[in-house]
Amino acid sequence: MESIDLNSPELYINREHSLLEFNFRVLAQALDETLPLLERLNYLCISCSNLDEFYEVRVASLIQMAEMDPNLVSSDGLTINEQFDKISIKAHELVAEQYRVLNEVLIPCLETENIRFLRRDRWSPAQKAWLEKYFNEELLPILTPVGLDSAHPFPRILNKSLNFIISLTGKDAFGRNSGRAVLQAPRALPRIVQLPVNETDSGPYDFVFLSSIIHAFVNELFNGMMVKGCYQFRVTRNSDFFVDDDAIDDLMLAVEGELAMRNYGDEVRLEIDGNCPEETVNFLLARFDLKPDRLFLANGPVNLSRMQTILSMVERPDLKFTPFKSSVPPALGRNKDIFASIRKQDILLHHPYESFSPVVDFIRQAAADPDVLAIKQTLYRTGVDSPIVAALIKAARAGKEVTVVIELRARFDEKDNIGLAAKLQEAAAHVVYGVVGYKTHAKMCMVLRKEGSTLRNYVHLGTGNYHPKTARLYTDYGLFTCEKELGEDVRRVFMQLTSLGKVSKLNKLLQSPFTLHHGILKMIDREIEHAKKGKPARIIIKVNAVVEETAIQALYRASQAGVEIKMIVRGVCCLRPGVLGVSENIEVRSIVGRFLEHTRIYAFCNGGDWAVYASSADLMNRNMFRRVEVCFPIADKRIAERILNDLDAYLRDNAQAWQLQSDGQYRHLRADDQAIYQVQSELLKAFCG
């Protein structure tokens, strides 16, 4: 039999296509009538903010790559220009569907619940009078239109800000009129205004878009002139800043400098009111030096993600997900001494079904415990008012040796992390920023405690960030253990991050950029050998993304050898399943539900003696080679069995699961005659009652 070239482009799905497909799956949730109505609106907003980031980061990156080498070809055989063409087609389809869902589905459904978005032609006299007063008192004093002429150049437009291009006739007091003006809506202004019930005879949830108010009263800004047209527009810019690792002395200063420029990066997308005349559209395209394929005509507000504020403005619990109370494992609930609990057994937390509070308590107890000598922690994303940071500050002030590795380049959290670093340094904590050239993405906390004549390391390792708020929204695993060799491994990784020296040999942890990639390939190869010998051979992988080609090829070889491979991949997947002779033994599914699936698990049957690993890393080049990540074994058989049962539950889902087809499309797995099984709902029942 002729061997198949595993480098063949036909065996790979384009990364950008796959990411856009994920956003179609998110948007599909907005059409799911089994979900609460306001949550459906939220899914629409999420798909829109995701598309923003797609252009800010992914498209911006491709543009830069094209400038460096326009002949680059992706693993699926597409040139960069071919990728741009496919991105444009798919992204425009997505945007058209977003506005269709808003205008034809969600707005009518919301109106039946007396949640209304009032257009200008539907304002009653009382509503119009109130809105005119609102414009004059709240908006007019801070709006600054700029008439375009030689003395007033086109203003710098902030990234993703709301703006208006205005056509004018007549002359002002100085006899001027270039015919155009630009108005920038300050970011401090609410994008959606709720009408007061008593003053306007409105319903309790009648809303008007800021853009509608400005359109209605824009004449007030141009005394004595006539406004011919007023059209909203929005520019998306490159937000993936560059720090030259070889030319910096202080990483914090370099990041601060780049942050100041983020709002004014190169333009990558232009959104304009769909009613805007072609002449004005072309004027803006030329002004921002953008081709028509980066133009999106909006059939509604140009920033749908701002509608997310409606969820907090509307007090209708019946239209939102039912609240839940996360549980605390019995091993921690019975014993207030968290260190004593961990000494008895390893403890697994599955967020958000199980509470994140034990993680905070772990650090708080360490801060107050006189026997604790040192605390070491990595922070990637943690939030502005983090209880974790407050506990670390308390520990430092209590005289503990506190070391914190903060990743300043956590995308879109850079500013917050700079502020957290300053707070910790003021409390005399040791703050470092990891390793130049490598993002520190590992999730680790270590507490060194003196117990009699011995020193013991207590560690927490996780798949997600130390962020209490996202721990309510993302699914993640966290492990408490004081196992000696694992604790020593964590200590050595912290030494790498804070000091200098050769790579330390680790006992049990796999770590990128050194051993993680090789370790995963080695375990895949082991399954291949088991399959060849007729032993049980199975792989289950649950991650956010699968991109790295060497790992994909290893999985192809495993499939060819007869290894059964089940993959739960939330977002991007470049592996093409179901290809005869290559990947017919590989199944890929994506779960899109109430919680963002964020756990990373690598499980290998190993002839029946399962090896289960949890990790902070996805199967991506950046995680394997350009980040500091850890992948930790689940040594406790009881916990490993629990995780395997969880994976089996995900593989049984027939309500929120989408199966990847060999053509790169996803098919929604719907229960027909079977009973509906929705894994996230089942886990909520099991843990939260």
Residues marked as catalytic: 441
Distance from C-alpha of 318 to C-alpha of 270, rounded to nearest angstrom: 37
Helix axes 637-652, 679-688, angle to 10 degrees: 140
Distance from C-alpha of 297 to C-alpha of 274, rounded to nearest angstrom: 4
The answer to whether the CB of 57 falls within 8 A of the CB of 81 is no
Residue 575 DSSP SS3: strand
Q: How many CA atoms lie within 13 A of 163 on its CB side?
A: 22
Take residue 446 and report the two structure tokens written for it.
Answer: 């270590």
512 to each of 320, 504, 517, 625, how far by Cα in Å?
40, 12, 7, 6
Distance from C-alpha of 306 to C-alpha of 409, rounded to nearest angstrom: 25
Report the first-to-last Cα separation within the chain, whole angstroms: 56
From the list 77, 82, 51, the residue with the least C-alpha distance to 66 is 82
Tell the residue number behind the tokens 């629409």, with chain if given: 44
Distance from C-alpha of 349 to C-alpha of 631, rounded to nearest angstrom: 16
Take residue 562 and report the two structure tokens written for it.
Answer: 């007869």
Take residue 376 and report the two structure tokens written for it.
Answer: 């070491």
Give 61-125 as a DSSP string: HHHHHHHH-TT-B-TTS-BHHHHHHHHHHHHHHHHHHHHHIIIIIIHHHHHHTTEEE--GGG--H
The answer to whether the CB of 458 falls within 8 A of the CB of 480 is yes
The answer to whether the CB of 339 falls within 8 A of the CB of 630 is no
Take residue 307 and report the two structure tokens written for it.
Answer: 């509608």
Distance from C-alpha of 230 to C-alpha of 183, rounded to nearest angstrom: 10
From the list 536, 588, 582, the residue with the least C-alpha distance to 566 is 588
Measured at the CA of 240, the angle between CA 511 and CA 68, to 5 degrees, comes to: 95
| Residues forming beta bridges with residue 538, ordered by sequence position | 564
From the list 324, 596, 344, the residue with the least C-alpha distance to 475 is 596
Distance from C-alpha of 229 to C-alpha of 574, rounded to nearest angstrom: 46
The answer to whether the CB of 433 falls within 8 A of the CB of 408 is yes
664 exposure class (CB count in 10 Å sphere: 0-12, 13-18, 19+): middle
414 to each of 253, 255, 388, 417, 629, how far by Cα in Å?
12, 8, 18, 5, 19
